[in-house]
């Protein structure tokens, strides 16, 4: 039977994938023998393979193996993964790195990290509340605060934990949080843990945001609006001026997750506020990460002093977590300095991003709503096609990751190209050309299922 759209039904897909999985299942059963005092609960409840999603994951792997697809994830990079990388003793043009300004491995950045190891060691060993501060922590925080003209800043060991912890602590059961439907998982999880009422609005549809707040704002105490500065799946940006106007009219806080915006947006890479030409102090909460442009790992919040004081004393993700590793803090601080002194890196990134977008459009590739700054998707509309295209490009020496369902809706499955300041014009043109060439002849999921059905017993 079909699903009404020309493909196989869900039941048929399940059956075919199960048959593919059974081809590998040759190991004997490890179930324990039945004993006189049998457990009072179903033994499956202690079997990790019964966890939600595990079986689907195994079937997808079996499906990929039948089709001869290599797993594109968890590849081992044998050197610094910049515009070029080395995987399996082979060189690749790399479009899967967030090192937007090429600062990971920069001599000044590396030297700062090494000096911090010599002075402080590799760890603070405990939370900063009990183990104390290191000068490099405050140097980094003050540098980031200055970037946003904020009163203060706090850094944490994980960008994901920063959003989960801060969003989860700022609002509660009597409050409202409203966020873009494409917001990062960390914000969505933080919102869920907060207990606040949650509403999402269609991506970058600020009319929908306005309508939501007009309809329900008066029912709640505090309200928090959360958007991203540069959306990591689509490479587009929100209208910051209108967001500020909306949050002021409805008495809400505005939080901008600028994780991908720092180093990319604005002439100096200072993020969404510079890109929009707006005073950054009009945004209540700036969030960002150290792991992309700043060549480190961790997250930060910049904003008013009372907010930062609250986080440092009340948010579990900071209070109960080890402090940021000193060499990581030193590396990020040095990278911030290089970015400020060398705006030509940002200029080069903007030129490369625009070149990639223009080349993709000339080739007729679907790039969605990308602004062509550093992130450009090539939308295939089907997970299998995205996986096949990634595999074909890998065989030609291009490392680019597929984004598959359920990370995005099936109709929006894609390859996601990250462009950096260090890519050459030749790399960019060649990658786009190879992508367009390899798109020819990609098979659909339904056709692949039918082929597998013919081959399996």
Do 388 and 320 belong together in one domain? no
Do 388 and 240 belong together in one domain? no
Which of 194, 232, 390, 394 is flagged as catalytic?
232
Which of 247, 260, 275, 333 is flagged as catalytic?
260
Do 227 and 349 belong together in one domain? no
For residue 134, being part of any structural domain is answered with yes
For residue 416, being part of any structural domain is answered with yes
Q: What is the pTM of this model?
A: 0.88
Do 333 and 190 belong together in one domain? yes
For residue 156, being part of any structural domain is answered with yes
Sign for the CA dihedral angle at 303, 277, 331, 230 comes to positive
Which of 292, 350, 385, 423 is flagged as catalytic?
292
Averaged pLDDT, 388-412: 92
Banded model confidence at residue 66, pLDDT cuts 50, 70, 90: low
For residue 225, being part of any structural domain is answered with yes
Q: So what's the pLDDT on residue 57?
A: 77
Residue 292 has pLDDT above 60, yes or no: yes
Banded model confidence at residue 3, pLDDT cuts 50, 70, 90: low
Q: How does the average pLDDT of the chain come out, rounded?
A: 90
**Cβ pair 426, 367 in contact under 8 A:** no
**Percent of the chain with pLDDT strictly greater than 70:** 88
- CATH code of 124's domain: 3.40.640.10
- CATH code of 354's domain: 3.90.1150.10
Q: In what order do the strands lie in the sheet with 375-379?
A: 375-379, 414-418, 401-403
Which has more pLDDT, 172 or 46?
A: 172
Which has more pLDDT, 48 or 250?
A: 250
Where does a domain end: 341, 359, 393? 341
Averaged pLDDT, 215-235: 97
Do 398 and 333 belong together in one domain? no
For residue 126, being part of any structural domain is answered with yes
- The boundaries of the domain holding residue 121 are 107-341
For residue 15, being part of any structural domain is answered with no
Do 368 and 417 belong together in one domain? yes
Do 238 and 122 belong together in one domain? yes
Lowest mean pLDDT among 24-33, 158-167, 210-219: 24-33
Contacts of 280 (CB under 8 A, 6+ apart): 148, 149, 150, 270, 271, 273, 274, 286
Do 300 and 334 belong together in one domain? yes
Do 112 and 151 belong together in one domain? yes
CA–CA gap between residue 296 and residue 224 (Å, rounded): 28
Residue 1 has pLDDT above 50, yes or no: no
Banded model confidence at residue 43, pLDDT cuts 50, 70, 90: confident
Do 238 and 335 belong together in one domain? yes
Do 438 and 335 belong together in one domain? no
Any catalytic annotation for residue 186? no
**Cβ pair 446, 8 in contact under 8 A:** yes
Q: So what's the pLDDT on residue 179?
A: 98
Where does a domain end: 310, 341, 372? 341
Do 232 and 316 belong together in one domain? yes
Any catalytic annotation for residue 292? yes
CA–CA gap between residue 393 and residue 92 (Å, rounded): 10
Any catalytic annotation for residue 424? no
For residue 78, being part of any structural domain is answered with no
Lowest mean pLDDT among 12-26, 166-180, 212-226, 439-453: 12-26
Averaged pLDDT, 377-391: 92
For residue 324, being part of any structural domain is answered with yes
Banded model confidence at residue 60, pLDDT cuts 50, 70, 90: confident
Residue 184 has pLDDT above 70, yes or no: yes
> What is the domain count for the chain?
2
Residue 28 has pLDDT above 60, yes or no: no
Residue 42 has pLDDT above 70, yes or no: yes
Where does a domain end: 312, 341, 370? 341
């Amino acid at each position: 039977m079909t699903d009404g759209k020309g493909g196989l039904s869900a039941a048929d897909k399940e059956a075919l994938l199960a048959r593919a999985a059974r081809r590998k299942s040759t190991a004997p059963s490890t179930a324990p023998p039945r004993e006189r005092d049998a457990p009072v609960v179903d033994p499956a409840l202690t079997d990790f393979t019964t966890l939600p999603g595990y079986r689907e994951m195994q079937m997808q792997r079996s499906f990929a193996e039948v089709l001869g697809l290599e797993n594109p994830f968890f590849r081992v990079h044998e050197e610094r993964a910049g515009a070029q990388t080395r995987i399996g003793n082979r060189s690749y043009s790399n479009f899967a790195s967030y090192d937007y300004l090429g600062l990971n491995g920069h001599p000044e950045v590396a030297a700062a990290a090494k000096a911090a190891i010599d002075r402080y060691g590799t760890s603070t060993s405990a939370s900063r509340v009990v183990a104390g501060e290191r000068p490099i922590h405050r140097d980094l925080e003050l540098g980031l605060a200055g970037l946003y003209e904020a009163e203060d800043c706090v850094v944490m060991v994980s960008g994901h934990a920063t959003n989960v912890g801060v969003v989860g602590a700022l609002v509660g059961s009597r409050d409202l949080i409203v966020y873009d439907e494409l917001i990062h998982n960390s914000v969505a999880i933080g919102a869920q843990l907060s207990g606040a009422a949650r509403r999402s609005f269609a991506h970058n549809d600020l009319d929908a945001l306005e309508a939501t707040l007009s309809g329900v704002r008066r029912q709640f105490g505090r309200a928090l609006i959360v958007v991203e500065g540069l959306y990591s799946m689509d490479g587009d940006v929100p209208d910051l001026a209108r967001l500020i106007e909306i949050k002021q009219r409805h008495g809400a806080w505005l939080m901008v997750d600028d994780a991908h915006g720092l180093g990319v947006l604005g002439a100096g890479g200072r993020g969404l506020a510079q890109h929009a030409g707006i005073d950054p102090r009009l945004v209540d909460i700036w969030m960002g990460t150290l792991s992309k442009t700043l060549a480190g790992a961790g997250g930060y919040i910049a904003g008013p002093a009372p907010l930062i004081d609250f986080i440092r004393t009340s948010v579990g993700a900071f209070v109960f977590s080890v402090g940021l590793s000193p060499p990581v803090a030193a590396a990020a601080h040095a990278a911030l300095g290089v970015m400020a002194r060398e705006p030509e890196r940002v200029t080069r990134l903007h030129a490369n991003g625009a070149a990639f977008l223009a080349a993709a459009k000339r080739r007729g590739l679907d790039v969605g709503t990308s602004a062509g700054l550093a992130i450009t998707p090539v939308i295939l509309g089907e997970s299998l096609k995205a996986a096949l295209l990634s595999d074909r490009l890998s065989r030609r020496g291009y490392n680019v990751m597929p984004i598959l369902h359920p990370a995005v809706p099936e109709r929006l499955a894609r390859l996601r190209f990250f462009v950096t300041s260090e890519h050459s014009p030749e790399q960019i043109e060649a990658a786009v050309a190879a992508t367009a060439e390899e798109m020819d002849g990609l098979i659909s999921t339904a056709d692949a299922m039918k082929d597998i059905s013919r081959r399996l017993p």
